[in-house]
Amino acid sequence: MKLWSHSRDELLDLPIDALAMLVLEAFGPNGWNVDSFFKGAAQSHTVFNQPGVAERIADAWSWLEAHALISPNPAQSTSPNARRVTQAGREALQHGLTRLKAGQRLDVDLHPSLAWTIRRQFLLGEFELAAFAALREVEIRVRALGSFGDELIGVALMANAFNPKGPGPLADPQAESGEREAMMALFRGAIGTFKNPSSHRAVNYDDPVLAAEVVLLADLLMRLLDRVEARRTSSP
């Protein structure tokens, strides 16, 4: 449904991000002059001049610029009001808000081992590869910290590394047995649920939010491994 086909009440009630996407669509994929856009809206669309609508559209415009979906147009540097739709804006128009919001979930300080390559894969739309690669990095690090050979992989590797009864080389000997059991279950569950299936068959991450959450899970596991490494380094 196009921006100007909405009633005043609908425009005022829409969530700011949903309204912003309608404004972006109305602005056009090639962009133009922001001042002309607002003046044209005032002249051509009655609803724009109804109480509160212009201010609400301005709020949505600010949201677009804050999220880098619209930017100044360097090709028209003499016009301070010239705007262009950014690459992120074009992708948002093509794929919708779900993908945009999923990418925003990863706009955090990811663990250094994941920050560059995994975020880049995700933003390129390679959701399955990003999720798989993030958990592969966890597996590689567990193997290195535990000094395991390449023959031990996946869930079996996690079980041996965090064995609560041994205890395994990465288990915390000072922790209560239930906590050691839970730590092993966390790593086994993450690898068994999200990494192993991708190792054996194509997994369709048609929901990019799920893929983003898998990456964030890998980030958490990496930070727990930081603690494991710090504990083992400080132990006599």
Peptide bond just before 167 cis, omega within 30 deg: yes
Query: What's the pTM value of the predicted model, to 2 decimals?
Result: 0.76
For 117, phi and psi rounded to 5 degrees? -70, -40
The predicted pLDDT at position 80 comes to 87
- pLDDT 10s per residue in the chain (236 long)? 589 999 999 999 999 999 999 999 999 877 788 999 999 999 999 999 999 999 999 999 999 999 889 999 888 877 888 999 998 898 888 888 888 888 888 888 999 999 888 988 887 888 888 888 999 999 999 999 999 999 999 999 999 999 998 889 999 999 999 999 999 999 999 999 888 665 545 556 667 888 899 999 999 999 999 999 999 888 66
The predicted pLDDT at position 38 comes to 93
- CB-CB neighbours of 5 under 10 Å: 10
Q: What torsion, rounded to 10 degrees, do the Cα atoms 193, 195, 197, 198 define?
A: 150
The predicted pLDDT at position 198 comes to 54
The predicted pLDDT at position 203 comes to 56
Task: For residue 80, give Cα distances in angstroms to 40, 52, 74, 88, 140.
Answer: 18, 26, 10, 21, 51
The predicted pLDDT at position 197 comes to 61
Cα gap 27→29, rounded to integer Å = 7
Q: What torsion, rounded to 10 degrees, do the Cα atoms 177, 180, 186, 188 define?
A: -100
Structure tokens at 198: 């991708």
Q: Are 230 and 172 in contact (CB under 8 A)?
A: no
